[in-house]
Amino acid sequence: MLYEIMRKLLFLIVACLVGRSIFAQVDTIRLKDKRLNTSALKPGLHQYLVYFQNPKSKQSLRFWYWLRDTKLESRDGQKMFAITQHWYGSDSTTYRQIYSLNKADDFAPVYESLTMKGITKAYNWSDKKVWGADSAANNTQKDFSLDFKTPNLNWELDIETLEMLPLAAGKTFVINFYDAGLSPPEYVTYKVTGSEVLSMLDNQKLDCWVILTEGNNGNTHYTQTFWISKKNHEFLKEEDSFNGMYRYKIKMPAMAPDLVARFK
């Protein structure tokens, strides 16, 4: 009888310890905690090949080419990350340009402007609300306003955010993301599911953390898998699946032509 009681007690103690260990691995990324390693975000031009695959159309692919130019600047005496994105598609109607400002110490969003098909949507951002920016010409969202219960991060910059996470085996991160102008912010869960060695275009082998997130967009379930290098916290690859479709993002090497400079 005593042996059985001791055995059950030991089981409960072990279960509690394991439970605490698992719980401790879940990190909620809050701006006030400054958990993001902003020094890992490297200024410079980063280029990505993005392509879509529909299993029902096996002989065709849809391509995009993304440029994300990150600069460290000073605005009103405060260090900021200024990130300009250019998305090139198969014709001019698919082109979009996104400009974002984020505080350098915690990556808190300050401003975002998106232009596509001649339509501009621009927002000012604080820890309490987002609202239409008066400073942007022809801003179709000038009357937009949304209050926040808690500060959040810009979902448009998920690539950069993932590069700054303190990644480790078994970690799970919960991030309060917001896609400006859309539905209210939501917490998104990202799990480090393991690691994998990627073979790069120059035959270099890079050990990467593999991160998974999934959810629902309306009635559509989606999954996203990311590969972030362990050494330099560099986003190298992404695979998405949604509505029977697949999307891939592959980081291009530094030798890729600088399209921004070429077409100025």
| CATH number of the domain that residue 257 is part of | 2.40.360
d(CA 152, CA 87): 24
CA angle 58, 64, 66 (to 5 degrees): 145
Q: What is d(CA 114, CA 238) in angstroms, rounded to the nearest whole number? A: 23
What's residue 35's pLDDT?
Answer: 93
Q: Report yes or no on 131 lying in a domain.
A: yes
Contact 205, 194 (CB under 8 A): no
- Strand blocks (E) in the chain: 26-29, 44-53, 62-75, 78-88, 96-103, 109-116, 119-125, 129-132, 145-147, 153-154, 172-178, 186-199, 205-217, 220-229, 235-242, 245-251
165 belongs to a structural domain: yes
pLDDT single digits (tens) 185-228: 999 999 999 999 999 887 889 999 999 999 887 788 999 999 99
For the ranges 8-17, 35-44, 131-140, 247-256, the lowest mean pLDDT is seen at 8-17
Using left for φ > 0, alpha for ψ between -120 and 50, and beta otherwise, residue 233 falls in left
Cβ contact 119:130 at 8 Å: no
Q: How many domains does the chain have?
A: 1
Residue 190 lies in a domain: yes
| 24 torsion bin: left (phi>0), alpha (psi -120 to 50), beta (else) | alpha
pTM for this predicted structure:
0.86
- The tokens of 216 are what? 């629902």
- Asked whether residue 10 is assigned to any structural domain, the reply reads no
Q: How far is CA 23 from CA 15, 81, 212, 223, in A?
A: 12, 33, 18, 23
Each residue's pLDDT tens digit, 25-64: 789 999 999 999 999 999 999 999 999 999 888 888 999 9
- Residue 94, SS3 per DSSP: helix
CB 112 within 8 A of CB 122: yes
More confident residue, 217 or 10: 217
235 domain residue, yes or no: yes
3-class DSSP assignment, residue 9:
helix
| Inter-residue contact 258 to 264 (CB < 8 Å) | no
Q: Is 221 a domain residue?
A: yes
Q: Does residue 13 lie in a domain region?
A: no
Q: Is residue 120 part of a domain?
A: yes
Tokens describing residue 226: 């990311």
Domain residues for the domain of 223 are: 24-262
